[in-house]
Structure 1
Amino acid sequence: MTVTLSSAPPADIRLVSPVSDTSSAGSRESSVSGGQQAVGSEVIKRQRDHRVDALRGIALLMMFVDHMPQNLLNRLTLRNLGFADAAEIFVLLAGYASWLAYGRGFSKYGTVETLRRLALRCGKLYLAQTLMMISFVVIIRTWRNFTPVPVDFLEPELAHGVSNLWRVFLLDALPSNLNILPLYMVLLAAFPLMYGLIKINRFVALGLSMLLWLVINLDPTVNFPNWLDPDGWYFDPLAWQFLFMLGACGAIEAGRHEGNLPSFSWLRILCGSYLVFSLLEAFPWTQWGLPVIRPLALPSPDKSTLAPLRLLDVLSIFYLVQSSQLARKFSETRLGQALALCGRHSLEVFTVGTVLDLIGRLIFTTIGEGWLLQATINLVGLWILYRVTVVYERKRNRARGEAATIGRSPSREKAVS
């Protein structure tokens, strides 16, 4: 989920792509934070753009905070600051990075190799999903040996036995907090079809994708079946595919402008104004003891079908970030780099964070929700997630170093000559 992909650079020159991939597929050329590209006899220095990595890191850490309902810190995450939340950002950036890894991969590595890499990534996502489910069952059953655990910590249909766990492994049953990776798997599996439509005509592909999204919003009953919920998958793939498609097309457009989306002052003002409106509508005024100043007092837009208000929210955020040089500068600070590191190892961060969420919820339920405990749970959890990224970054760097050593070995050079 962390390896970047860029178009092939000239020999012995490492070119950095503007974003790391969410998959393990991709080239190793974009492995440093700064790079060079040869153009004729000149050498142009190019610095890596960490904005998308940092934004994905923010989304992942917000997911960690949001998945503990007792966590007071989630009052400051996107879910309470606008219509959309971290899940929308995650899926949008998944589409963005998938184009960099696989959209370019079809022409660079060939159809068979790219399909193999897609299948491998889906397999890793399924493995992560399985490990999280097993961890949930083991942790909850162990905890129950010492203190009662509310039945809803694991869906009631699964809480009293394991006879129906096979439904989870076949994705016929998606428990709460374990339902976004299956969505990602479905979208990745559908990527070859999306790629084919985009290659025919990008705007036709977007139009067809939007039409399907509109159909689902008009008829929310069209969904994948979920044994645990008669309404189907919480994240309806037939609706959320539009956000994934928008991410892929956004990567194409940004690739034409050195990683930036074209900056228009009028559009930036429009997006900023919409986000202010979204903030006023979604902010938990009463939880903070403040008077409610919602302009329209709109009901919360449906998340399952990716309601229009949510879609506009996440697109506004992404446009302002990816068209902003200030956001680029922030991503180059120490804090921005730490967030980008989380974004580059998003599968590992999400998997570990989801298990930590369960433990945090159990601790809050068993011990209490005092301020000291709140601070401890959040600080320890965030520190663990950061250390996970450090471990995997070192592992990746070692692998790259070994690959570079093999590439420079005398036998290799003799074979090439």
Structure 2
Amino acid sequence: MNRIAALDMLRGYALVCIMLDHMPIGVLRNVTLSNFAVFDAAELFVLLSGFLVGMVWVKVEAKEGRFAAQKRFLKRAVQVWLALVIGAVILALFSALLFALHMNHTAVWFQYSQWIFEHPLGYLATVGLMWMQPNLMDVLALYVLLIATAPVTVPFLLRYPLLALTVSVTIWFFAEPLNALVPNQRPGPGLLFNPFGWQLLFFVGVAMGAFRSRIMPVLLRWRGLITLASVGILLFSLAIVLAWRIGAPAKEVSDFLKLIHGPIDKWPLDGLRLIAILAASWMVAVPLARPFAWMAATRLGEALAEIGRGGLFSFVVCVLLSIWGDAVQMTAPQGMAGLFVRIGIDIWVMVALWAAAATWMRREIWIGALRKRLGWR
């Protein structure tokens, strides 16, 4: 399948934002996506994942048949589940190592570092059953459920798109009471990333990937109007976020805007967050398509694309680097010197994430060379 460089770049950008956003005292987290819109990298990651599922599904089904596509995505669901389990174990062990080295950190809950040694089988079982989803890895639990249902839901969506959309919106509308029925380790109801809410964004992405050749000619007839509406939505989103960040001096503005948008809740996927990410998607795909294609061809764009192509490996590495970066930043001095140290750490973890992804993407080359040197076949 031909890859779209801009999509890989955006996936890499989403992973970088996820990493920086989970470093509480980092400096560059103040310029990530969530500082300019009511949505954040989680929405971008899930939407792009859905888009790629839809794009890959139709190509595989056209060449090899529906059963091959179903088999492929069942296998993918197992891979994501393994990444969740393995990543959760490594996360807990790495956190324990940092505490043993007296490197405090707050990016991940300290209890995991104790449970992995006090109740190793229990920890493994509860993560494997997804009754517990360690923070930073919890989006993978959502992804497991979405991909595991794809062999049934995607053919239904392809055959009856309008009915599938109706069902998905209805489930999203009742997401919170449905999620409350899911048994979970958390004190709150259900999974943190409410699968009944986030499924709508994922399947919208699937539809965009699967039907883009049919949808875009229709939408392009209304290009000007859709672009104008998207710009308005994103400016409204930016105004909300700026009012939040300004704080008390902008309280009256924030309260006025809240009368329009109401409560904004990430975990069940709030309607405004959904609309805003879709508006941003239109801007990237149509009015800004050429600038994004140009950015994807730059050295920075290519580096982000390599991170994006690293997939699950890149995700697990970005989680571990966010913990490491958080721990190291807590040792930075106060004042201006500490500010520059924290910026340096932010840059270091981004470079490390790219280096890890690039090494992973070239694994066949260096593993082959290593085997040859060691005389292995």
Query: What is the TM-score normalised by the length of structure 1?
Result: 0.76
Q: Select the residue among 172, 185, 192 that pairs with 2:151.
A: 192
Percent identity over paired residues? 25
Residues 232, 184 of structure 1: CA spacing in aligned structure 2 closer, same or farther, 3 A cutoff?
Answer: same
State the match for 1:144 in structure 2.
99
User: Highest relative contact order (Cα 8 Å, sep 6+), 1 or 2?
Assistant: 2
Q: Report the counterpart of residue 272 of structure 2 in structure 1.
A: 309
Q: Look up the match of 1:343.
A: 308
Match of 2:7 in 1: 52
Distance 2:103 2:357 in 1: 34
**Counterpart of 2:136 in structure 1: which amino acid?**
N
Q: CA deviation at 1:79?
A: 1.7
Distance 1:260 1:358 in 2: 45
**Alignment partner for residue 375 of structure 1, among 304, 321, 343?**
343
Instruction: Label 1:231 to 1:285 Cα distance change in 2 as closer, same or farther (>3 A).
Output: closer
Task: Report the CA distance between 1:258 and its aligned residue.
Answer: 8.7
| Alignment TM-score, normalising by the size of structure 2 | 0.83
Whether the aligned pair in 1 keeps the contact of 2:105 and 2:327 (CA below 8 Å) is no
The one-letter code sitting in structure 2 at the alignment partner of 1:202 is P
Residues 365 and 254 of structure 1, relative CA distance in 2, 3 Å threshold: same
Quote the residue 2:25 is aligned against. Answer: 70
Secondary structure of the 1:283 match is helix
Q: Can you list the C-alpha shifts for 1:283-326, whole angstroms capped at 9, x where unaligned?
A: 36656997565451466611111010110111111111111333
| 1:214 match | 173
Match of 2:213 in 1: 255
Q: Offset of 1:228 from its aligned partner?
A: 2.7
Q: Is the alpha carbon distance of 1:388 and 1:144 closer, same or farther for their aligned partners in structure 2, counting shifts above 3 Å?
A: closer
In structure 1, runs of 5+ residues without a counterpart are: 6-15, 21-48, 400-417
Equivalent AA in structure 1 for residue 306 of structure 2: L
Give the distance between the partners of 2:267 and 2:91, measured in 1 at CA. Answer: 24
Distance (whole Å) between structure 2 residues aligned to residue 236 and residue 368 of structure 1: 39
Question: What one-letter code is carried by the residue in structure 1 that aligns with 2:57?
Answer: Y
| 1:118-157 correspondence runs (5 A) | 118-147=73-102, 149=104, 153-154=108-109, 156=111
The number of equivalent residue pairs is 353
Shift of 1:92: 0.7
Q: Aligned partners of 1:143 and 1:288: how far apart in 2? A: 35
In structure 1, distance between residues paired with 2:217 and 2:17 = 25
What is the match of residue 90 of structure 1?
45
- Contact conserved, 2:80 with 2:144, CA < 8 A, in 1? yes
SS at match of 2:57: helix
C-alpha contact 1:236 1:304 (8 A) present in aligned 2: yes
Which residue identity does 2:356 align to in structure 1?
V
1:296 aligns with 2:257: yes
Three-state SS of the structure 2 residue aligned to 1:144 is helix
Equivalent positions of 1:361-400 (< 5 A) are 361-367=326-332, 370-395=338-363
Per-residue deviation, 1:87: 0.3
Cα offsets for 1:337-393 (capped at 9, x unmatched)? 322222222322211010111112222334557213212211111111111232233
Structure 2: which 5+ runs fail to align? 368-377
